[in-house]
């Protein structure tokens, strides 16, 4: 069969890589794809971004089903457009994607369905927002309501930073529609984990646990990014905590969406803050929902899938997912992101990338912001590569991946040297 993946990042390259290994798959089309998907076996880039044109492509090409990677096409209603035309697609409807596309929607939903999250209030008026900040004090968190490509959250350590964030979101319009409303919420402490499931509307299939590294620099310093590296499994998500997350967060979310008349299909990603204490009682709160897989969490997660992912997605779009549909490799997968010069502020593009490590069965370089021109790879985005390896231990995976990362030649490249430090600390 022929499949279509919408997106062009590391997440989409990783999904395409796993799907292309299925004996049932002839070609995975990736729209728009990147320099990695341009030269991988059984993958083909498609230079289409308009959602109606993508639906036409899927019909004309006889695509068995489409998988959507990023949030923007989901929030723009790509799933509704495909379904109206009888085309199979895996992802949430535009209405369901509001769990990610509107923080205010997500917070009100969580309160309505008793799903644990930070206390909050929503404002459209800057003066009222500021009065609330002065009353609550710092630290406090200010979030633009809409999609802001990972830049809409300010964790303010001082009251002044929070007031400035309100001004820049509600005041000068620099966030556009995304900042027309702000959510101001309680500052939470603890350890973050990404908990992702797939759902066909009824059956829930948990993905392996994972942990991202959001800050640019080692020791979780520097600005927030889209994610600088991830690994799976995340030891913080013990079996007892896994069970609690399913019962306290995931199941009430899927049930709540059903009750609200907007059943959720697709990937549901709960970004969690896990406070200190024993697993049975430690605080567990939702920081955010995403309605898609994480990037870079996908890269290590798909490395651990042992069975045919193409069949799993087929069952999902047909509404016949089985609860244990995925056979997980018990080993650890770890991915390190190589980012461009000056990422995340204003990443430089157009740099030559060379000396990419050769892929092996256990170590693969997934591409993100790369483009292939006349046989040469160039950077075209902030996050450029995610070198991902699978090994018996966290240490072994880490050594393998950093050996490969160090071969890469790219002027101004940045990467963290401490991916999975929490897992190593936990096993020490
Ligand atoms: P979000 O896009 O909502 O996940 O926020 C991005 C990052 O900001 C999260 O991964 C956390 O590191 C941080 N963050 C968000 N909300 C809070 C909160 N209420 N308390 C502390 N940190 C937060
Ligand atoms: N890595 C975080 C995200 O995909 O939202």
The residues spanned by each domain of the chain are 2-92, 125-180, 191-317, 332-427
CB 18 within 8 A of CB 302: yes
Q: Write the residue with the smallest CA distance to atom 9 of ligand 1.
A: 287
Atom of ligand 2 at shortest distance to CA of 294? Answer: 4
Query: Ligand 1: distance of its center to the CA of 221 in Å?
Result: 15
Tokens of 316: 């999902």
pLDDT at 176: 63
User: Does ligand 2 come within 6 angstroms of the Cβ of 212?
Assistant: yes
Q: Which ligand is nearest to the CA of 226?
A: 2
Query: Cα Rg for the chain, rounded, in angstroms?
Result: 21
User: Does ligand 2 come within 6 angstroms of the Cβ of 300?
Assistant: no
pLDDT digit string, tens, across residues 346-392: 999 999 999 999 999 999 999 999 999 999 999 999 999 999 999 99
pLDDT at 178: 58
CB 382 within 8 A of CB 340: yes
Number of Cβ within 10 Å of residue 342's Cβ equals 12
Nearest C-alpha neighbor of 258 from the set 364, 113, 380: 113
pLDDT tens series, the chain, 428 aa: 999 999 999 999 999 999 999 999 999 999 999 999 999 999 999 999 999 999 999 999 999 999 999 999 999 999 999 999 999 999 999 999 999 999 999 999 999 999 999 999 999 999 999 999 999 999 999 998 888 766 788 999 999 999 999 998 887 666 666 558 899 999 999 998 889 999 999 999 999 999 999 999 999 999 889 999 999 999 999 999 999 999 999 999 999 999 999 999 999 999 999 999 999 999 999 999 999 999 999 999 999 999 999 999 999 999 999 999 999 999 999 999 999 999 999 999 999 999 999 999 999 999 999 999 999 999 999 999 999 999 999 999 999 999 999 999 999 999 999 999 999 987 76
Q: Which ligand is nearest to the CA of 224?
A: 1
With H, G, I as helix, E, B as strand and everything else as coil, classify residue 159: helix
Question: Does the N-terminal peptide bond of residue 340 adopt cis geometry, omega within 30 degrees of 0?
Answer: no
* Phi, psi dihedrals of residue 267, rounded to the nearest 5°: -90, 130
pLDDT at 180: 81
Query: Ligand 1: distance of its center to the CA of 29 in Å?
Result: 34
Atom of ligand 1 at shortest distance to CA of 150? Answer: 2
What is the spatial distance between Cα 269 and Cα 194, in angstroms, rounded to a whole number?
A: 7
Nearest C-alpha neighbor of 230 from the set 101, 384, 401: 401
pLDDT at 224: 87
Among 99, 141, 147, 275, name the best residue to mutate to test ligand 1's pocket (greatest count of ligand atoms within 8 A of Cβ). Answer: 141
What's the CATH class of domain 332-427?
A: alpha beta
Helix 309-317 and helix 10-20, axial crossing angle in degrees, nearest 10: 100
Q: In which residue are the tokens 């998988």 written? A: 67
Instruction: For domain 125-180, give its CATH number from 3.30.1490.20, 3.10.180.10, 3.50.50.60, 2.160.20.80.
Output: 3.30.1490.20
Contacts of 396 (CB under 8 A, 6+ apart): none
With H, G, I as helix, E, B as strand and everything else as coil, classify residue 86: coil
Tokens of 301: 């997660």
CB 366 within 8 A of CB 13: yes
Tokens of 277: 């204490």
Q: Write the residue with the smallest CA distance to atom 5 of ligand 2.
A: 294
pLDDT digit string, tens, across residues 222-240: 988 999 999 999 999 999 9
Distances (CA, A) of 121 to 65, 90, 146, 173, 312: 40, 33, 15, 20, 40
Q: Residue 259: which H helix or E strand, with range?
A: helix 251-259
Query: Ligand 1: distance of its center to the CA of 273 in Å?
Result: 8
pLDDT at 152: 83
Tokens of 44: 């083909």
* Phi, psi dihedrals of residue 112, rounded to the nearest 5°: -60, -35
Q: Residue 185: which H helix or E strand, with range?
A: strand 182-186
pLDDT at 148: 73
Atom of ligand 1 at shortest distance to CA of 185? Answer: 19
* Phi, psi dihedrals of residue 31, rounded to the nearest 5°: -120, 110
What's the CATH class of domain 2-92?
A: alpha beta
Fold of 191-317: D-amino Acid Aminotransferase; Chain A, domain 1 (3.30.470)
Atom of ligand 2 at shortest distance to CA of 297? Answer: 1
Atom of ligand 1 at shortest distance to CA of 143? Answer: 3
Query: Ligand 1: distance of its center to the CA of 155 in Å?
Result: 7
User: What does the DSSP 8-state code read for residue 355?
Assistant: -
What is the spatial distance between Cα 171 and Cα 149, in angstroms, rounded to a whole number?
A: 19
For the entire predicted model, the pTM comes to 0.94
Contacts of 281 (CB under 8 A, 6+ apart): none
Helix 126-136 and helix 159-166, axial crossing angle in degrees, nearest 10: 170
HSE of 253, CA atoms in CB hemisphere, 13 A: 37
Number of Cβ within 10 Å of residue 184's Cβ equals 24
What is the spatial distance between Cα 327 and Cα 297, in angstroms, rounded to a whole number?
A: 17
């Amino acid at each position: 069969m022929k499949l279509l993946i919408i997106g062009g990042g590391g997440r989409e390259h990783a999904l395409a890589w796993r799907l292309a290994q299925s004996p049932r798959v002839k070609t995975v089309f990736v729209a728009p794809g990147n320099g990695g998907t341009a030269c991988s076996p059984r993958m083909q880039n498609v230079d289409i971004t308009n959602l109606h044109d993508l639906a036409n492509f899927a019909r004309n090409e006889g695509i068995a089903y489409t998988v959507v990677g990023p949030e923007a096409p989901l929030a723009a209603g790509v799933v509704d457009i495909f379904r109206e035309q009888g085309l199979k697609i895996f992802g949430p409807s535009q209405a369901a994607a509001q769990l990610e596309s509107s923080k205010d929607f997500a917070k009100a939903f969580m309160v309505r369905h008793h799903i644990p999250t930070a206390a909050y209030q929503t404002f459209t008026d800057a003066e009222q927002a500021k009065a609330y900040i002065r009353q609550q004090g710092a630290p406090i968190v200010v979030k633009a309501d809409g999609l802001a490509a990972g830049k809409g959250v300010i964790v303010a350590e001082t009251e002044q930073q929070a007031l400035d964030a309100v001004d820049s979101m509600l005041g000068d319009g620099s966030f556009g529609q995304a900042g027309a409303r702000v959510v101001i919420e309680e500052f939470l402490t603890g350890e973050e984990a990404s908990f992702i499931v797939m759902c066909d509307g009824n059956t829930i299939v948990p993905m392996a646990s994972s942990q991202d590294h959001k800050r640019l620099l080692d020791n979780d310093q520097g600005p927030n990014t889209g994610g600088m590296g991830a690994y799976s499994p995340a030891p913080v998500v013990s079996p007892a905590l896994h069970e609690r997350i399913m019962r306290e967060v995931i199941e009430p979310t899927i049930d709540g969406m059903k009750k609200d008349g907007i059943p959720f299909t697709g990937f549901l990603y709960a970004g969690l803050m896990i406070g200190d204490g024993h697993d049975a009682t430690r605080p567990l709160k939702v920081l955010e929902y995403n309605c898609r897989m994480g990037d870079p969490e996908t890269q290590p997660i798909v490395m651990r899938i042992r069975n045919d992912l193409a069949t799993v997605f087929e069952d999902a779009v047909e509404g016949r997912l089985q609860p244990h549909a995925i056979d997980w490799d018990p080993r650890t997968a770890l991915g390190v992101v190589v980012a461009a010069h000056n990422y995340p502020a204003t990443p430089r593009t157009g740099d030559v990338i060379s000396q990419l490590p050769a892929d092996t069965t256990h170590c693969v370089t997934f591409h993100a912001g790369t483009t292939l021109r006349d046989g040469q790879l160039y950077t075209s985005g902030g996050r450029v590569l995610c070198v991902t390896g699978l090994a018996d231990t966290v240490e072994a995976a880490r050594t393998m991946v950093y050996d490969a990362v160090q071969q890469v030649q790219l002027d101004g490249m940045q990467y963290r040297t401490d991916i999975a430090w929490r897992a190593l600390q936990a096993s020490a």
